[in-house]
Chain A
Amino acid sequence: MTESFAAARSTSQALPEAVVRIEGLRKSFDGRLVLDDVHLTIGRGRIVSVIGQSGGGKTTLMRCVNLLEQPEHGTIEVAGEVVHQDGRTVCRDLPRLRRTVGMVFQRFNLFPHLTAVENVVLAQRRAGVAELEALERAVALLRRVGVAHRALALPDQLSGGEQQRVAIARALALKPELLLFDEPTSSLDPEATREVLTVMRELAADGMTMMLVTHELPFAREVSDHVVFVDGGRIVEEGTPEDVLGAPAQPRTREFLASYGSTS
């Protein structure tokens, strides 16, 4: 799987080191199977988009990577370390694993009692970063995502786009090796969506490894190295964005894309 992915990508590059390797993942909620025998590898610096209908298991798949969900079966490896195996968390230091993986949520989930800059500082301090260094990094990150002028505002004083950009800065603060984006623009209006996608495009250009669950198919096509179509808890089709979004091989993928009106 890693080989084919790498081969499809480029011939000039060496095989990218895998940041995430998922094998034979199975997960059910109350007896209902939501993920079944899922395999996925994300190489360093790669951007993988997961698409599919709501309730198809794509968010659950993403949440398994930082073990916000515990699968029943399969292996999860993050940054070269097996963290979960067949229903058992084998990672001894779960907080450290989660600091390796930044996550951006659909509903932002900023801490409402703290200003934007404090939101970015909090986890750094818990991770042992010195106060001044944490603040400097927070301010630099807020500048980077273009919300430094709102650094001292509370989340409910920020627009949706600003909140999501603060959330991205917060996820970047721990210098993660991988960023997970769980439908980051689904609660945003078009203007705010554009703001957030601009930031994500910049991260992509900087070589950040990203896993993205999204309904923004044109964006997925633009930035992704690899697109995965999940339906009914299984990976139905995967490949380059041109293949999966442009010339899907599976009827189920074509059906899904037709419902979006974006097979072009």
Chain B
Amino acid sequence: MSDLFQVPWSDYQSDLLDALWRTLSYTAVSFVGAVLLGLAVALLRLSRAWPARAVAAVYTELFKNIPLLAIIFLSYFGLASAGIRLDVFTAGCLSLVVFYAAYLSEIFRSAISGVHTGQTEAGQALGLGRVGIFGQIVLPQAVRQALPGTNTMLVDLLKSTSLLVTVSAAELMSEGRLITSSTFRALEVYLIISAIYFALCYPLSQLLLLLERKVRAGVPLSPWRRRRLRTARALLAQDAPDAPVGADVKAGAV
């Protein structure tokens, strides 16, 4: 056992922290980008105009059927040879965004089209416009549907940042390779690197599960919703007025 751990880890502490930060940056930036692009593609796919649907379908099928590693090589080496030089962070994020947006768009599309048409009609009947109906009725329900799949994709994306070792992106895996090449302790180094990934991914997925459960149970997450429900509770706690106010509803006197 004493043979196993011989790398002077304290010497690499700050490098590892940098690499950890880089991994988290790749994950955060790429995930936000993939969610936005994925949503846009999902909306195109649900569009009434067939050219929009066609473009979105081609995009989704294309990037779902190419390995992520090939996309990384294309955006870093391929584009460079065509004269478009992206720095490694941009190329890395771009690859992760286009790849994961393809999967997320499928999740979002099924979530949005899974919202019952009666919901849209109820919104229309209440005089809401298209934006109001989408933003306040369809999207919140679609998010509820899409959350489990999206959360899986987030954890998967975090792990996939390790593929960026192939373009020396200075994230955790690249740092692991550097430490290995100077210490020749591959087993020890990659065990530690794996442990760090686990320490990131496991709590993240548990946290997301908790979030899913809260959203499903209708727990208010935004401060304004909490405030609204607090006010409602206070109003409900007040004694009901003697005469039912409703008698004047029609006359607009409530």
Interface residues of A (CB under 8 A from B): 66, 68, 94-99, 101-103, 105, 107, 109-115, 117-118, 121-123, 126-127, 131-132, 135-141, 143-145, 148, 151-152, 154, 170-172, 174-175, 177, 202, 206-208
Q: By the criterion CB–CB under 8 Å, are B240 and A113 in contact? A: no
Q: By the criterion CB–CB under 8 Å, are A143 and B124 in contact? A: no
A42 and B86 CA atoms in complex are apart in Å by 68
Closest residue on chain B to residue A142 by CB atoms = B236
Q: By the criterion CB–CB under 8 Å, are B125 and A117 in contact? A: no
A30 and B102 CA atoms in complex are apart in Å by 35
Residues of A within 8 A of B225 (CB): 118
Residues of A within 8 A of B127 (CB): 94-99, 123, 126-127, 174
Per CB-CB distance, the 7 closest pairs between chain A and chain B, nearest first, are A144-B246, A123-B126, A99-B127, A109-B122, A95-B127, A103-B125, A98-B127
Q: By the criterion CB–CB under 8 Å, are A68 and B231 in contact? A: no
Not counting A154-B218, A172-B246, a sample of 11 additional A-B residue pairs whose C-beta atoms are within 8 angstroms of each other reads A66-B124, A68-B125, A95-B127, A98-B124, A111-B122, A111-B137, A113-B144, A121-B228, A139-B236, A151-B236, A174-B126
Closest residue on chain A to residue B225 by CB atoms = A118
A to B CB contacts below 8 Å, 18 in the list:
A103-B125, A109-B118, A109-B122, A110-B122, A111-B137, A111-B141, A117-B232, A118-B229, A123-B128, A136-B235, A136-B254, A140-B254, A154-B218, A170-B126, A172-B246, A174-B127, A177-B250, A206-B250
Interface string of B176-212 (1 = CB under 8 A from A): 0000000000000000000000000000000000000
Q: By the criterion CB–CB under 8 Å, are A141 and B125 in contact? A: no
A127 and B132 CA atoms in complex are apart in Å by 11
Q: By the criterion CB–CB under 8 Å, are A132 and B125 in contact? A: no
Q: By the criterion CB–CB under 8 Å, are A152 and B232 in contact? A: yes
Kindly state the interface size class of chain B when it binds its partner.
Answer: 35 or more
The residue from B132, B136, B235, B250 contacting A135, defined by CB atoms under 8 A apart: B235
Q: By the criterion CB–CB under 8 Å, are A105 and B229 in contact? A: no
Q: By the criterion CB–CB under 8 Å, are B244 and A175 in contact? A: no
Closest residue on chain B to residue A117 by CB atoms = B232
Residues of A within 8 A of B132 (CB): 126
Residues of B within 8 A of A99 (CB): 126-127
Q: By the criterion CB–CB under 8 Å, are A206 and B232 in contact? A: no
A144 in contact with B245 given A95-B128, A113-B140, A127-B127 (CB within 8 Å): yes
A121 and B132 CA atoms in complex are apart in Å by 14
Residues of B within 8 A of A208 (CB): 249-250
Interface residues of B (CB under 8 A from A): 116, 118-119, 121-129, 132, 136-137, 140-141, 144, 218, 225, 228-229, 231-233, 235-236, 240-241, 244-247, 249-250, 252, 254
Q: By the criterion CB–CB under 8 Å, are B231 and A122 in contact? A: no
A172 and B246 CA atoms in complex are apart in Å by 9
The residue from A66, A152, A154, A172 contacting B125, defined by CB atoms under 8 A apart: A66
Closest residue on chain A to residue B130 by CB atoms = A95
Closest residue on chain A to residue B240 by CB atoms = A143
Residues of B within 8 A of A144 (CB): 244-246, 249
A138 and B144 CA atoms in complex are apart in Å by 25
The residue from A118, A122, A141, A152 contacting B233, defined by CB atoms under 8 A apart: A152
A262 and B141 CA atoms in complex are apart in Å by 43
Residues of B within 8 A of A66 (CB): 124-125
Closest residue on chain A to residue B244 by CB atoms = A144
The residue from A68, A140, A206 contacting B121, defined by CB atoms under 8 A apart: A68
Shortest beta-carbon distance, A11 to chain B, in Å?
25
Q: By the criterion CB–CB under 8 Å, are A141 and B235 in contact? A: no
A141 in contact with B118 given A68-B124, A113-B144, A122-B126 (CB within 8 Å): no
A113 and B138 CA atoms in complex are apart in Å by 10
A68 and B124 CA atoms in complex are apart in Å by 8
Residues of B within 8 A of A171 (CB): 125-126
Closest residue on chain B to residue A154 by CB atoms = B218
Shortest beta-carbon distance, A51 to chain B, in Å?
22
Question: Which of the listed residues A131, A135, A138 has the most CB atoms from chain B within 10 Å of its own CB?
Answer: A135
Closest residue on chain A to residue B235 by CB atoms = A139
Residues of A within 8 A of B218 (CB): 113-115, 154
Shortest beta-carbon distance, B71 to chain A, in Å?
35
Shortest beta-carbon distance, B47 to chain A, in Å?
21
Residues of A within 8 A of B247 (CB): 206
Residues of B within 8 A of A103 (CB): 122, 125
Shortest beta-carbon distance, B105 to chain A, in Å?
22
A102 and B246 CA atoms in complex are apart in Å by 15
Q: By the criterion CB–CB under 8 Å, are B250 and A126 in contact? A: no
A135 and B141 CA atoms in complex are apart in Å by 22
A95 and B140 CA atoms in complex are apart in Å by 21
Residues of A within 8 A of B126 (CB): 98-99, 122-123, 126, 170-171, 174
